[in-house]
Amino acid sequence: MDAIVRSQLMYISVILTIILIPKIIQRFKVPAPLTSFGLGILVSFASIEYIQDPVIGLLAILGISSLFLFAGLEVNVSSLKVSAKALISHLLIRSLILALWVWIGVHFFNLTWQTSGLIALAVLTPSTGFILDSLPTIGLNSQERFWVTSKAIAGEILALSLLFFILKSESLNTLSFSMGILLLIIFGLPVLFILLNKYVIPYAPNSEFSLLIVVGIIAAYITKQIGVYYLVGAFIAGIVASQLRERLPNLASENNLNAVKLFATFFVPFYFFYSGMKVPHGAFNFSALWLGLAISAVLIPLRIASVTIQRVIMHGDQWISAFRVSAALTPTLIFTLVISTILHERFDLTDDLFGGLLIYACISTLIPIWVLPKPYKFDLT
């Protein structure tokens, strides 16, 4: 068979596999991202040509970048200001829990503070993009959805800030340089968007969506080059665009938001598939299984309890309402995958712990299916 034809058939088979099979299995209440991830793991054990193909990696980058661009676009500063007092108390408690986790990792497990801090972020940070898309289908009322959205977004902002600091804390010079680049992105993107709106969009109608995607990917690529991964830059680009909504209404319009969501819907499965292909085979053993089950048995009840008690005591929620909010905030799949990969590649995370974190991520992702009243559905795969 001609090499070009064989290559075309290969990519068609990948697309059909990643898009169709998770949707079919989703009827059994298995979130599509978990199925995509599992498919990636399966093909990693087979001698399949596309395992090392860079195109799959590129599609994965488009997926994770567009997902966090969408998450940034969802940030509504006005809404966060309305609930500022409650969110600040929530973030303070979260920060104390993170600090306690770091202390335990350093003093009882002989981990460096960077490794311990990254593990804490991996297991305690809700996956905002994942959670936000599930809200209409898990039976929460409007008030509960508001608090889930606000807490997830605020927690993601805190987590990304800490991720940046931990990864660039090797030296003051490295931190200063990276901070300078990050500030350049933050203050340069509004200028770029305004210039595009003035000199490009009037002469290229309906180009706002494509320009938004391109700028998000460029920002993601820059942050990856300074060593803080794609999601930071993409998230910043989304926040900047959302804050320019009044000045540039077409840029972050509802139509564009839906378009970015649909774009992410198509490409995010490639990220999970690619992540599954990159899991080291040494992570599949009984030690990793028991470690993942132990982490889940300890952390998931503690996470749910801490948010539930906080909501009841500090905000006067009913116990059942507080529990539903905390359960909806449990999934950590995306953050756990991203940070586990960073830990394995840059901090020599053991295969056992890598596998244990992945099992924890899968279990935490299934919690809303098990405990919330309506069937859990996740379309932004």
Helix axes 142-167, 113-124, angle to 10 degrees: 160
If one counts the domains in the chain, the total is: 1
Does residue 158 lie within any of the structural domains?
Answer: yes
Q: Which residue range(s) make up the domain with 266?
A: 3-371
Distance between start and end Cα atoms, the chain: 33
318-355: b or e for each residue (b if 16 or more CB lie within 10 Å)? Answer: eeebbbbbbbbbbbbbbbbbbbbbbbbeeeebbbbbbb
pLDDT band at 360 (very low <50, low <70, confident <90, very high): very high
pLDDT of the residue at 375: 46
Does residue 376 lie within any of the structural domains?
Answer: no
pLDDT of the residue at 75: 85
The larger pLDDT score, comparing residue 172 to residue 375, is at 172
Query: Is a pLDDT exceeding 80 seen at residue 97?
Result: yes
Query: Is a pLDDT exceeding 60 seen at residue 235?
Result: yes
pLDDT of the residue at 119: 94
pLDDT of the residue at 376: 47
Q: How far apart are CA 283 and CA 289, in angstroms?
A: 9
pLDDT of the residue at 351: 92
Q: How far apart are CA 178 and CA 165, in angstroms?
A: 9
Q: What is the pLDDT of residues 253-263, one digit of tens each?
A: 888 888 998 99
pLDDT average, residue stretch 41-64: 79
pLDDT band at 288 (very low <50, low <70, confident <90, very high): very high
Does residue 151 lie within any of the structural domains?
Answer: yes
Q: How far apart are CA 86 and CA 80, in angstroms?
A: 10
pLDDT average, residue stretch 211-226: 93
Does residue 341 lie within any of the structural domains?
Answer: yes
Does residue 282 lie within any of the structural domains?
Answer: yes
Selection from 58, 19, 36 nearest residue 334 by Cα: 36
The larger pLDDT score, comparing residue 357 to residue 80, is at 357
pLDDT of the residue at 135: 76
| 373 DSSP assignment | S
Query: Is a pLDDT exceeding 90 seen at residue 364?
Result: yes
Does residue 381 lie within any of the structural domains?
Answer: no
Determine how many CB atoms are found less than 10 A away from the CB of residue 99: 12
Structure tokens that stand for 274 in this block: 């690619």
Q: What is the mean pLDDT of the chain?
A: 87
Does residue 275 lie within any of the structural domains?
Answer: yes
What residue type is assigned to position 304 of the chain? I
Q: How far apart are CA 66 and CA 266, in angstroms?
A: 10
pLDDT average, residue stretch 231-242: 92
Does residue 105 lie within any of the structural domains?
Answer: yes
pLDDT average, residue stretch 152-157: 89
The larger pLDDT score, comparing residue 123 to residue 11, is at 123
Q: What is the pTM of this model?
A: 0.89
Query: Is a pLDDT exceeding 60 seen at residue 174?
Result: yes
Q: How far apart are CA 82 and CA 87, in angstroms?
A: 10
Q: How far apart are CA 94 and CA 19, in angstroms?
A: 36
pLDDT average, residue stretch 116-125: 94
The larger pLDDT score, comparing residue 207 to residue 139, is at 207
pLDDT average, residue stretch 68-84: 83
Q: How far apart are CA 237 and CA 78, in angstroms?
A: 18
CB 131 within 8 A of CB 329: yes
Q: What is the CATH number of the domain that holds 355?
A: 1.20.1530.20
Q: How far apart are CA 334 and CA 102, in angstroms?
A: 21
Range with the poorest average pLDDT among 57-66, 290-299, 368-377: 368-377
pLDDT average, residue stretch 187-193: 95
pLDDT average, residue stretch 75-100: 84
With 0-12 CB in 10 A as exposed, 13-18 as middle and 19+ as buried, what is 373?
Answer: exposed
